[in-house]
């Protein structure tokens, strides 16, 4: 019999309410032992929860039971909503742990069971993991789409087209000796081409999807004392970086995480760009150049009197060049007075929002890799079909390979090795 597992599903520590989840064949028995009778399935009921071994009362809780086949895990499941006290939760967990056939869940084990029961596929599990980690609206929306099966539905449709192509090819191979000269090649080519184009479309939006998921990096660069750290602090609304009138104050890259219009953005403050005799500062400048070059966008901060960026970091059309310290005379913005700061935020947000709009549903390197391999297999099949008198056996092998790759994307085959890694990153209780 499968183990019955339990865990705190809500966050650790003091809270208004804590949720303890019990899933598996013995979950209802365990819950009945704790609270007498269970409410009707899917109907909340208030119960007194007591330790069956000692009779000691643990708490008064809202109890919810789910029947096998209609819970998150697909198993019989009970949720206790207790008062969110550390002592209540630990005595409830202790009481559960002392029961025969019931044990603490491993990280991600509830989700793993949901997947085994066919309630979620692997791509959806990845969406769920991202949803739990989501900090901004864009991350939440993206994760929800994937968790609700957006990528899975696409994959299913590609798979159906490929299977249709395969059926056409195989019928031709089977009837090769007979007198039915039907040329299936045009239909097969049409099916494969449409799949290839859709795969290419998803792949084209993978970079943007990755940015939405992990956040855009925006680096502030410029000469020493231009006011970069002051600008970072103004944008962050707190004193994240040291500022001073000493040129060469910043050496390390300072990172501040922000939410700009629902997008996750990491703002980088970097060392002022100049040739320095100071070894440590020179290392800082090299680091600044490296991080700025790798960032998605740069804000080049000009100091008063400076007309244009002076090398050191390549500035392209994705970047913003702004004049600071406007309070001293002319300029676009001032970190001292706040002038022009909202306009800068609006401009950065609109540029990044524009870039995020092409995002596809490919949220993981694993998924992208599968699409790249699937697309290569479809290309190989199409290539083989271009030769007149194409070897249909070879074509069918390529198409079959593409199907297998798509199956691995949703976890239908061949994914034991990635499962451990994916579920291990969930917390206990999920
Ligand atoms: N008047 C005025 N002074 C500013 C403004 N922004 C920064 N400063 C001053 O300019 C000097 C340098 O500011 P920082 O923010 O340390 O400049 P930085 O570009 O980070 O300097 P490094 O880290 O040394 O490269 C400090 O004395 C700041 O107070 C501004 O908008 N107006
Ligand atoms: K400075
Ligand atoms: Mg600085």
- pLDDT tens string 296-324: 999 999 999 999 999 889 999 989 999 99
- Judge if 281 and 398 occupy the same domain: no
Residue nearest to atom 32 of ligand 1 (CA): 325
- Judge if 160 and 60 occupy the same domain: no
Give dist(CA 392, CA 165) in Å, integer. Answer: 11
CA of 164 to the centre of ligand 1 (A): 65
Token pair recorded at residue 430: 């999920």
- Judge if 176 and 221 occupy the same domain: no
In a domain, 325, yes or no: yes
- pLDDT tens string 109-134: 999 999 999 999 999 999 999 999 99
Q: How many domains does the chain have?
A: 3
Residue nearest to atom 6 of ligand 1 (CA): 227
Phi, psi of 299 (to 5 degrees): -105, 110
Q: What is the mean pLDDT of residues 334-351?
A: 97
ipTM above 0.95, yes or no: yes
- Judge if 52 and 155 occupy the same domain: no
Q: Are 377 and 165 in contact (CB under 8 A)?
A: no
pLDDT grade for 172, boundaries at 50, 70 and 90: confident
Ligand 1 neighbour 227 (Cβ under 6 A): yes
Residue that terminates a domain, selected from 340, 356, 372: 356
In a domain, 95, yes or no: yes
CATH code of 86's domain: 3.30.1360.120
Residue 180 pLDDT more than 60?
no
CATH code of 400's domain: 1.20.120.430
Which among 225, 336, 344 is the best mutation to test ligand 1's pocket, defined by most ligand atoms within 8 Å of the CB?
Answer: 225
- Judge if 34 and 81 occupy the same domain: yes
pLDDT grade for 176, boundaries at 50, 70 and 90: low
pLDDT of residue 182: 66
- Judge if 79 and 18 occupy the same domain: yes
Ligand 1 neighbour 280 (Cβ under 6 A): no
- Judge if 233 and 276 occupy the same domain: yes
Residue 178 pLDDT more than 70?
no
- Judge if 147 and 27 occupy the same domain: no
- Judge if 299 and 378 occupy the same domain: no
Residue that terminates a domain, selected from 74, 105, 136: 105
Ligand 1 neighbour 228 (Cβ under 6 A): yes
Domain that holds residue 398: 127-205+363-416
What is the DSSP track for 385-403? HHSTT--HHHHHHHHHHHH
- Which atom in ligand 1 lies closest to the alpha carbon of residue 232? 15
Contacts of 16 (CB under 8 A, 6+ apart): 83, 84
Residue 181 pLDDT more than 60?
no
Q: What is the mean pLDDT of residues 217-230?
A: 98
- Judge if 352 and 367 occupy the same domain: no
Q: What is the mean pLDDT of residues 232-246?
A: 97
- pLDDT tens string 85-109: 999 999 999 999 999 999 999 999 9
- Judge if 343 and 228 occupy the same domain: yes
- Judge if 344 and 376 occupy the same domain: no
What is the DSSP track for 226-290? SSHHHHHHHHHTS--S---SSTT---SPEEEEEEETTEEEEEEE-PPPS--SSHHHHHHHHHHHH
């Amino acid at each position: 019999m499968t183990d019955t597992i339990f865990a705190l599903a809500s966050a650790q520590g003091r809270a208004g309410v804590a949720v303890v989840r019990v899933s598996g064949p013995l979950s209802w028995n365990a819950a009945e032992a704790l609270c007498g009778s269970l409410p009707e399935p899917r109907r909340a009921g208030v119960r007194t929860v007591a330790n069956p071994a000692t009779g000691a009362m643990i708490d008064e809780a809202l109890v919810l039971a789910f029947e096998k086949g209609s819970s998150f895990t697909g198993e019989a499941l009970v949720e206790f909503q207790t008062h969110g006290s550390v002592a209540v939760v630990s005595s409830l967990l202790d009481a559960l742990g002392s029961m025969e056939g019931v044990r603490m869940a491993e990280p991600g084990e509830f989700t793993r069971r949901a997947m085994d029961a066919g309630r979620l596929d692997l791509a959806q599990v990845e969406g769920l993991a991202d949803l739990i980690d989501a900090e901004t609206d864009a991350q939440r929306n993206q994760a929800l789409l994937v968790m609700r099966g957006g990528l899975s539905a696409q994959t299913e449709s590609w798979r159906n087209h490929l299977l249709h192509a395969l059926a056409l090819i195989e019928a031709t191979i089977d009837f090769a000796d007979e007198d039915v000269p039907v040329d299936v090649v045009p239909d097969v080519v049409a099916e494969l081409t449409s799949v290839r184009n859709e795969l290419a479309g998803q792949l084209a939006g993978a970079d943007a999807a990755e940015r939405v998921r992990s956040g855009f990096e925006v680096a502030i660069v410029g000469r020493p004392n231009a006011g970069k750290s002051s600008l970072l602090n103004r944008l962050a609304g707190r004193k994240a970086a040291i500022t001073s009138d000493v040129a060469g104050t910043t050496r390390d890259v300072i990172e501040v995480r922000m939410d700009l219009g629902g997008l996750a953005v990491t703002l980088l403050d970097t060392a002022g760009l100049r040739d320095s005799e100071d070894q440590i500062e020179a290392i800082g400048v090299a680091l600044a150049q490296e991080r700025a070059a790798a960032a998605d966008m740069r804000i080049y901060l000009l100091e008063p009197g400076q007309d244009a960026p002076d090398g050191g970091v390549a500035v392209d059309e994705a970047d913003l060049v702004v004049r600071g310290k406007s309070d001293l005379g002319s300029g676009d913005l001032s970190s001292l007075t706040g002038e022009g700061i909202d306009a800068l935020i609006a401009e950065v947000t609109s540029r990044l929002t524009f870039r995020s709009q092409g995002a596809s549903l490919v949220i993981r390197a694993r998924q992208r890799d599968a699409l790249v391999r699937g697309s290569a297999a479809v290309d190989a099949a199409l290539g083989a079909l271009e030769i007149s008198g194409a070897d249909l056996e070879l074509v069918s092998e390529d198409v079959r390979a593409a199907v297998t790759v798509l199956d691995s994307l949703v976890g239908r085959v061949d994914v034991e090795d990635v499962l451990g890694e994916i579920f291990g990153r969930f917390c206990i209780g999920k």
